[in-house]
Amino acid sequence: TAASETLGFQAEVKQLLHLMIHSLYSNKEIFLRELVSNASDACDKLRFEAIDNPALLEGGGELAIHVSYDKAARTITVSDNGIGLTREDAIANLGTIARSGTREFFSRLTGDQQADAQLIGQFGVGFYASFIVASKVTVLSRRAGAPAGEAVRWESSGDGEFTIAQTEKATRGTDVILTLREGEDDFLSGWRLREILRRYSDHISLPIRMKKEEWDADKGEQVQRDEEETVNQASALWTRAKNEITDEQYREFYKHVSHDFDDPLAWTHNRVEGRSEYTQLLYVPKHAPFDLWDRNGKRGVKLYVKRVFIMDDAEQLLPAYLRFVRGVIDSADLPLNVSREILQESRDVRAIREGSTKRILSLLEDLAENRKDDYATFWSAFGQVLKEGTGEDATNLERIAKLLRFASTHTGTDEQTVSLADYVSRMKEGQDKIYYVTAETFATAANSPHLEVFRKKGVEVLLLTDRVDEWMLSYLREFDGKQLVSVAKGSLDLGGMADEQEKKQQAEVAESVKPLVERLKTALEGRVKDVRVTFRLVDSPACVVADEHDLGQNLQRLLKAAGQ
Ligand code: ADP
Ligand code: MG
DSSP collapsed to 3 states, 175-241: EEEEEECCCCHHHCCHHHHHHHHHHHHCCCCCCEEEEEEEEECCCCEEEEEEEEEECCCCCCHHHCC
Pairing mode of beta strands 278-284, 221-230:
unpaired
- Strand extents, DSSP E, 395-514: 407-408, 433-438, 462-464, 478-479, 482-486
Distance 358 CA to ligand 2 centre (A): 30
C-beta of residue 82 within 8 angstroms of C-beta of residue 173: yes
Q: Which residues pair with 280 in a beta bridge?
A: 270, 329
Distance 381 CA to ligand 1 centre (A): 28
Distance 262 CA to ligand 2 centre (A): 14
- Residue-wise DSSP of 98-120: --TTHHHHHHH--S-HHHHHHHH
Atom of ligand 1 nearest to the CA of 259: 3
Q: How far is 213 from 222, CA to CA, in rounded Å?
A: 6
If you take atom 1 of ligand 1, which residue's CA is the nearest one?
A: 126
Helix or strand run (H / E) with residue 311: strand 308-314
Provide the pLDDT confidence category of residue 532 given band limits of 50, 70 and 90. Answer: confident
Q: How far is 131 from 72, CA to CA, in rounded Å?
A: 20
Q: Which residue has the higher pLDDT, 328 or 105?
A: 328
Question: How confident is the model over 458-479, as a mean pLDDT?
Answer: 95
Q: How far is 504 from 278, CA to CA, in rounded Å?
A: 66
The DSSP 8-state label assigned to residue 491 in this structure reads S
Question: How confident is the model over 350-375, as a mean pLDDT?
Answer: 97
pLDDT for 436 beyond 70: yes
Annotated ligand binding at 125? The verdict is: yes
Proximal ligand: closest to the CA of 129: 1
User: CA–CA distance from 336 to each of 50, 223, 276, 348, 560 (Å)?
Assistant: 11, 44, 16, 13, 48
Residue 384 has a pLDDT of 94
Provide the pLDDT confidence category of residue 558 given band limits of 50, 70 and 90. Answer: low
User: CA–CA distance from 338 to each of 45, 114, 311 (Å)?
Assistant: 14, 45, 10
Q: Which residue has the higher pLDDT, 122 or 465?
A: 465
pLDDT for 551 beyond 70: no
Residue 296 has a pLDDT of 60
Q: How far is 296 from 387, CA to CA, in rounded Å?
A: 20
pLDDT for 470 beyond 60: yes
Annotated ligand binding at 100? The verdict is: yes
Annotated ligand binding at 124? The verdict is: yes
Provide the pLDDT confidence category of residue 463 given band limits of 50, 70 and 90. Answer: very high
Residue 554 has a pLDDT of 61
Provide the pLDDT confidence category of residue 345 given band limits of 50, 70 and 90. Answer: confident
Q: Which residue has the higher pLDDT, 430 or 227?
A: 227
Contacts of 537 (CB under 8 A, 6+ apart): 449, 452, 453, 543
Q: Which residue has the higher pLDDT, 303 or 24?
A: 303
Residue 497 has a pLDDT of 64
pLDDT for 420 beyond 70: yes
If you take atom 15 of ligand 1, which residue's CA is the nearest one?
A: 93
Distance 206 CA to ligand 2 centre (A): 16
Distance 150 CA to ligand 2 centre (A): 24
Distance 13 CA to ligand 1 centre (A): 14
Proximal ligand: closest to the CA of 298: 1
Question: How confident is the model over 91-101, as a mean pLDDT?
Answer: 82
10 Å CB burial of residue 67 (0-12, 13-18, 19+) is buried
pLDDT for 147 beyond 90: yes
pLDDT for 42 beyond 90: yes
Question: How confident is the model over 252-278, as a mean pLDDT?
Answer: 93
User: In this predicted structure, which of 31-40, 423-432, 482-491 has the lowest mean pLDDT?
Assistant: 482-491
Residue 550 has a pLDDT of 62
Contact residues of ligand 1, CB 6 A cut-off: 34, 38-39, 41-42, 80, 82-83, 85, 93-94, 126-127, 174, 259
Helix or strand run (H / E) with residue 403: helix 397-403
Atom of ligand 1 nearest to the CA of 39: 23
Over the chain, what is the mean pLDDT?
89
Contacts of 323 (CB under 8 A, 6+ apart): 292, 299, 300, 315, 385
pLDDT for 61 beyond 80: no
Proximal ligand: closest to the CA of 101: 1
If you take atom 8 of ligand 1, which residue's CA is the nearest one?
A: 126
User: CA–CA distance from 259 to each of 12, 34, 294 (Å)?
Assistant: 19, 9, 17
Provide the pLDDT confidence category of residue 380 given band limits of 50, 70 and 90. Answer: very high
Q: Which of 255, 259, 239 is nearest to 331 (CA)?
A: 239
Question: How confident is the model over 434-446, as a mean pLDDT?
Answer: 94
Proximal ligand: closest to the CA of 93: 1
Residue 312 has a pLDDT of 86
Distance 74 CA to ligand 1 centre (A): 24
Helix or strand run (H / E) with residue 348: helix 347-370
Residue 555 has a pLDDT of 63
Residue 123 has a pLDDT of 78
pLDDT for 353 beyond 60: yes
Residue 207 has a pLDDT of 97
Residue 414 has a pLDDT of 94
Helix or strand run (H / E) with residue 164: strand 161-167
Residue 356 has a pLDDT of 96
If you take atom 11 of ligand 1, which residue's CA is the nearest one?
A: 93
Provide the pLDDT confidence category of residue 259 given band limits of 50, 70 and 90. Answer: confident
The percentage of residues in the chain with a pLDDT greater than 90, rounded to a whole number, is: 62
User: In this predicted structure, which of 101-105, 148-152, 200-204 has the lowest mean pLDDT?
Assistant: 101-105
Question: How confident is the model over 480-500, as a mean pLDDT?
Answer: 75
Distance 128 CA to ligand 1 centre (A): 10
The DSSP 8-state label assigned to residue 498 in this structure reads S
The one-letter amino acid at 475: Y
Q: How far is 204 from 389, CA to CA, in rounded Å?
A: 34
Pairing mode of beta strands 462-464, 433-438:
parallel
Q: Which of 26-30, 48-52, 365-369, 544-548 has the highest mean pLDDT?
A: 365-369
pLDDT for 422 beyond 90: yes
Q: Is the ipTM of this complex over 0.95?
A: yes
pLDDT for 193 beyond 80: yes
For residue 556, how far is the Cα from the chain centroid? Answer: 31
If you take atom 21 of ligand 1, which residue's CA is the nearest one?
A: 38
Residue 23 has a pLDDT of 79
Pocket of ligand 1, candidates 12, 38, 259: which has the most ligand atoms within 8 Å of its Cβ, to mutate?
Answer: 38
Atom of ligand 1 nearest to the CA of 78: 23
